Chain A
Amino acid sequence: MTDLAQADGTHTNGASVPVPVTTRKDWSSDQEVRWCPGCGDYTILAAMQMLLPDLGVRRENTVFLSGIGCAARLPYYMNTYGMHSIHGRAPAIATGLAATRPDLDVWVITGDGDSLSIGGNHLIHALRRNVNITILLFNNQIYGLTKGQYSPTSEMAKVTKSTPFGSLEQPFNPLSLALGAEASFVARSHDMDRKHMTEMFRRAHAHKGSSFVEIYQNCNVFNDGAFEQITGKEHRSEMLIPLVHGEPIRFGAEGEHGVVRGPDGAVEVVSVADVGESALLVHDEHRENPGLAFQLSRLSRGPYEPTPIGVFRDVDRPEYGLEMTRQVDAVIERKGEGDIAALLRSGSSWTVE
């Protein structure tokens, strides 16, 4: 699918050329994938490469940016434009790219160490600004590339190479953090369900502004089975709570469990038989107030209790790059295109004969 555009160095974006029909192969680079055999990253990569031909987008207008870590190698495997940058900094780099090139699809691939530890600051500010980027956080609750230290999402008391007597730290809840940072799109998926992942990626891509998707991802070498209790095939129906917009929140093989707001306002899991279907909380992605989404993000204390997946929040907010462009356009509209000679004389000038 190489529809080489005008070779004059301008960004044509092939406006007049129809988007070529592509397959997964077209989106795969010639580089050998070097994750450990059995790593959850493989299914995420596959989901991505299989989704992209479906999105009606162009390879040349697609950019994958990453920081450092196992997840951050993903851009090398995509046959698009890409950058593997510095630990934690991808959202900052992506902000500059997205703010100047609103025509591009910018994906940020990150991990729990990359985005929640060393890059925490960049993540929250990118979300707050609502830069038009799609952030996929591969959360495996461990440092993989440095061979097994605890991460900011590792559970307390976790025994790792750097915490032989157990971690003393309260972990981050990535979704709570994102919601607290004013994120306009927040979702969760897991690496054992390609179909669900694909749907979340599609939704995140469609959202204008910053989208944040947490993916529970198994590191089979350093933290194997971290999510097994909820994502294992035999546990899913009892442990994963699918959030569907406009539908009552319920789960279980027969839909026998549900989520309600308790007397203290907090959300809690109940038996539908006990409370009746009409008492169930109806999921609303577009709720302006993020409070309920925040509560849902904390319904489970960890991947061993019933855990919601799906889109928690999807609201419209002004998109940063677009607003920046609008400001520029408005000033040009008002003042006319800048003139250097006039600029140099904009203070008080005088002439020496």
Chain B
Amino acid sequence: MSDTTINEHEPEVLDRVILRFAGDSGDGMQLVGDQFTTISALFGNDLATFPDFPAEIRAPAGTLAGVSAFQVQISDHDILTPGDAPNVLVAMNPAALKANVATLPPGATVIVNVDAFEERNLTKAGYDVNPLTDGSLSAYTVYEIPMTSITTEVSKDAGVKPRDAERSKNFFALGLICWLYTRPVDGTAEWIKSKYEGKFLVMEANLRALKAGYHFGETAELFASSFEVHPATLEPGEYVNITGNTATAWGLIAAAKQSGLPLFLGTYPITPASDILHELSKHKEFGVRTFQAEDEIAGIGAALGAAFGGALGVTTTSGPGADLKAEMMGLGVSLELPLLIINIQRGGPSTGLPTKTEQADLLHAMYGRHGESPLPIVAAKTPSHCFEATIEAVRLAVKYRTPVILLSDGYLANGTEPWRLPDVADLPVIDPDFASGPNHTDEDGNEVFWPYVRDETTLARPWAPPGLAGLEHRIGGLEKADGSGNVSYDGDNHERMTRLRAAKIAGIANDIPPTDVDDEDGHADVLVVGWGSTYGAIAAGVRRVRARGHKVAHAHLVHLNPFPADLGDVLGRYRRVLVPEVNMGQLSRLLRAEYLVDVVSFTQLKGIPFRAASMESAILELIRAEDGGDGRSGAVTSSVGGTPVDGTVPADGKVYP
């Protein structure tokens, strides 16, 4: 469509824009959001995305429950989040408008498919009066475009039935947005051709709709001007746009390669973790074996069995599955075998909010097993960081012969960002260091193999998969005698083994990097400590606070058990510590318990990530209170919005009963 790229007016240049595509679950909003993201990534923008969709595959059409949205921020500079409030909302029906209008700042642009604003849909969305006519949208610039009718019209002579043609209206919207933001649609046209190869009518309808949307923008003269967001100046290198789940899957493949271990994934489908299974199952050329088990328990059980056999055993899940895997994690702690458990957290308790994000499984990861059963916890902080975090989790599992929990969440899993590809030659090498022979001399002077003789430095036991003669041994969930691994009910031995297992995990603190603190000149009074997917919002909030001339430090924890060895010292250097979390204050509790530091917890549980603006105001409140207050006073907490009994403050400042 090179004939359509010239606009009469010079496009207006913007430094960034936040777009939100919203429609019914079946309207293909995720698809066009993805396409717009790909176009923008290839164009060279920095970007961050936030797919936000319901758990139901097809909730009743036209209802609020069925609204599926995709938010993307594109910019000409490095950005950290998909943005707080959309500058542009594309609403394919009244429900999509109603569900999203509250997030729009005054002056935002609203593009609606006016064909869908008829009585039935308005009623379904709960509108008594048409919002397009009652003046309720006066704060916004509203464009009413008959997307359905134009889309149907352009495919008429191609032999596409109107009902089928109508389904291409998402591509009309995409074409229009591409015109509005001066991006080419050729790539998407090619994508449509390959995606719908062999389905000529569908392909044709989508192509025509895409083109029609683009042309409409150009010719309808509705829009005063188009806009342009220039490419960002990113660090030189090769980039891809990647989701957290894909990065996790690729991290697993890379870790398997770097360790020489065959990768075995035992898992059970669960939102939002299933895409890791889907991605891995495509890559058997790496020797990947994926096993869709009968349940969550069998998923991790098979992974543990594979680990016993000398494979890299991995299981993926989300909260409800993590509950079921607890007993097998405990067995893994007892067997001291490498095992990776990846929990893509979602809103809980119980089934909770399957498609919405939350980071409320930290304490579950820490303590969610009976008995004293510590294991390392690693958390990814951005979609692309999932790659590195996965490899690190595998490194710890293999080196320390232990189950490791890797925490990601729904936001990271489905969100995307450009990722500068690492040099494969720089990836860490992981040595499985299998046992190769006897390691003990018995009373009779015979050379024998004892499965629980420990490495003096790491306290790790030998990993001896079946196949080597002379190393035959039995392990199990019963307490084992130190060294020989034989069943032992001796109290002193149990205490020794319990403390050894704990010391092994605690000792990992010496094998991980010190706390990475972003503190410009070391003079900040307030430190923000986060973990997981809050990274983007915290870092963006910190930038805004600094732009106002304040000092603030940010540390983002990747290792949550054990913590970096210097974390206590780091916390002690700051007058106040703010801990934002999408939970009720779980890291706060751990920090308080571990370091006796009176951290301020800042929490939100809305199924969505923090906004940079709320992060900014929380930090500012604490800085102001600190400047004008008397240091460590409780007044700080209450000034943020009341002090619930446990000291946590909801992000919106409201105190819920």
Considering only residues 581-628 of chain B, those with a C-beta below 8 Å from chain A are: none
Of B297-305, B361-369, B571-579, which binds chain A? Answer: B297-305
Does A173 reach chain B (CB closer than 8 Å)?
Answer: no
A81 CA to B309 CA, complexed, in Å: 10
Residues of chain A within 8 A (CB-CB) of B487 are 31, 76
In-complex Cβ contact of A86 among B42, B262, B328 (8 A):
B328
| Set of chain B residues within 8 Å of A327, measured between Cβ atoms | 284
Choose one: A94, A99, A336; the contact of B264 (CB below 8 Å).
Answer: A99
Task: Flag whether B655 is at the interface (Cβ < 8 A).
Answer: no
* Residues of chain B within 8 A of A64, CB atoms compared: 474
Query: Among A58, A85, A100, A352, which residue has its beta carbon within 8 angstroms of that of B306?
Result: A100
Which of B170-178, B214-222, B232-240 lines the interface with chain A?
Answer: B232-240
A76 contacts B476, CB within 8 Å?
yes
Q: How far is the CA of A37 from the CA of B566 in the complex (A)?
A: 57
Residue A79 at the chain B interface, CB threshold 8 Å: yes
Contact of A332 among B284, B306, B435, B466 (CB under 8 A): B284
A181 to B233, CA, bound (A): 60
**Docked pose: A3 CA to B471 CA in angstroms:** 11
Q: Which of B470-499 contact A (CB under 8 A)?
A: 470-478, 486-487
Instruction: Tell whether, in the assembled complex, residue B254 and residue A340 are in contact, meaning their CB atoms are under 8 Å apart.
Output: yes
Chain B contacts for A345, CB-based, 8 A:
238, 240, 421
Q: Which residues of A lie under 8 Å from residue B513 when comparing CB positions?
A: none
B467 near A7 with CB under 8 A, answer no
How far is A100 from B241 in the complex, measured between Cα atoms in Å? 33
| Contacts known (A60-B468, A352-B236); A338 close to B301, Cβ less than 8 A | no
Whether A79 lies near B472 (C-beta < 8 A) is: yes
Q: Find the residue from A97, A124, A348 having the highest chain B CB count within 10 A.
A: A97
Query: A13: which B residues are within 8 A, CB to CB?
Result: 467
| Proximity string of chain B (529-544) to chain A, C-beta cutoff 8 Å, 1 when within and 0 when not | 0000000000000000
How many Å from the CB of B414 to the closest CB on chain A?
Answer: 15
**Chain A, 316-345, contact with B by CB distance < 8 Å: what is the 0/1 string?**
000000001001100110011110110111
**Residues in B neighbouring A125, C-beta threshold 8 A:** 293-294, 298
Q: B469 contacts A82, CB within 8 Å?
A: no
A70-93 contact mask (Cβ, 8 Å, vs B): 1 or 0: 000001101111111110010011
The answer to whether B297 and A332 have CB atoms under 8 Å apart is no
Q: Is A63 an interface residue (CB 8 A)?
A: yes
The answer to whether A338 and B302 have CB atoms under 8 Å apart is: no
Chain A residues positioned under 8 Å from B200 (CB to CB): none
In angstroms, how far is the closest chain B Cβ from the Cβ of A23?
Answer: 16
- CB atoms of B476 and A75 under 8 A apart: yes
CB distance from A1 to the nearest CB of B (A): 8
Q: Contacting B470 at CB < 8 Å: which of A2, A98, A338?
A: A2
Residues of B within 8 A of A338 (CB): 253, 257, 283, 285-287
Interface size of B by Cβ–Cβ distance < 8 Å? Answer: 77
Q: Assess the B468–A82 pair: CB atoms within 8 A.
A: no
CB distance from B236 to the nearest CB of A (A): 5
* Interface residues of A, count at CB 8 A: 72
Q: Nearest A residue to B474 by beta-carbon distance?
A: A82
Check A11 for interface membership: any CB of B closer than 8 A.
Answer: yes
CB-based contact A94/B240 at 8 Å: no
Q: Which chain B residues lie closer than 8 Å to A103 at the CB level? A: 467
Q: Determine whether the beta carbon of B297 is less than 8 Å from that of A89.
A: yes
- Say whether B467 contacts A12, CB under 8 Å: yes
8 A Cβ contacts from B252-295 to A:
253-254, 257, 262, 264, 266, 283-289, 291, 293-295
B304/A93 in contact, CB under 8 A: yes
User: Inside 8 A of B313's CB, which chain A residues have their CB?
Assistant: 96
Q: Are A89 and B434 touching (Cβ within 8 A)? A: no
The answer to whether A96 touches B266, judged by C-beta atoms less than 8 angstroms apart, is: yes
- Pairwise interchain contact A89-B310, C-beta atoms closer than 8 A: no
Task: Flag if B237 contacts A95 (CB, 8 Å).
Answer: no
- Which residues of the partner chain A approach B433 to less than 8 Å between Cβ atoms? 9
- CB of B253 within 8 A of CB of A343, answer yes
Chain A residue nearest in CB terms to B330 = A86
B327 nearest CB neighbor, chain A only: A86
Enumerate chain B residues within 8 angstroms of A76, measured Cβ to Cβ: 474, 476, 487
B114 located at the interface, meaning its Cβ lies under 8 Å from any Cβ of chain A in the complex: no
A47 to chain B, nearest CB (A): 20
Asked if B436 is at the interface (CB within 8 A of a chain A CB), the reply is yes
Which residues B416-452 have CB closer than 8 A to chain A? Answer: 420-422, 424, 427, 432-437
Q: Is B465's beta carbon under 8 Å from chain A?
A: yes
- Known A-B contacts A93-B304, A353-B236; the reply to A328 vs B469 at CB < 8 A is no
- Asked whether any CB of chain A lies closer than 8 Å to the CB of B250, the reply is yes
On whether the beta carbons of B44 and A352 are closer than 8 Å, the reply is yes
Distance to closest chain B CB from A190 (angstroms): 27
Q: Does A349 contact B (CB under 8 A)?
A: yes
Q: Hey, which chain A residues are within 8 Å of B545, CB to CB?
A: none
Q: Tell me the complex Cα distance, A65–B42, Å.
A: 52
Do A96 and B476 have beta carbons less than 8 Å apart? no
In the assembled complex, A61 has its CB within 8 A of some CB on chain B:
yes
Residue B635 is within 8 A (CB to CB) of chain A in the complex: no
B41 on interface, CB distance cutoff 8 Å: yes
User: Roughly how many angstroms separate A124 CA and B486 CA in the complex, as a whole number?
Assistant: 32
B558 at interface by CB-CB < 8 Å: no
A345 smallest CB distance to B (angstroms): 7
Q: B242: shortest Cβ distance to chain A, in Å?
A: 7
> 15 new A-B pairs (CB below 8 Å) besides A2-B470, A78-B474, A336-B285?
A4-B437, A7-B468, A11-B467, A12-B467, A59-B469, A84-B478, A92-B297, A95-B291, A99-B264, A99-B289, A103-B467, A122-B297, A124-B294, A324-B289, A338-B285
6 A-B pairs whose Cβ atoms sit less than 8 Å apart in the complex: A4-B470, A8-B436, A9-B432, A336-B285, A343-B283, A350-B239
Binding site for B on A (CB under 8 A): 2-5, 7-14, 29, 31, 58-65, 68, 75-76, 78-86, 89, 92-101, 103-104, 121-122, 124-125, 324, 327-328, 331-332, 335-338, 340-341, 343-345, 347-353
Query: Lowest 4 A-B CB distances belong to which pairs?
Result: A84-B476, A96-B302, A96-B305, A92-B301
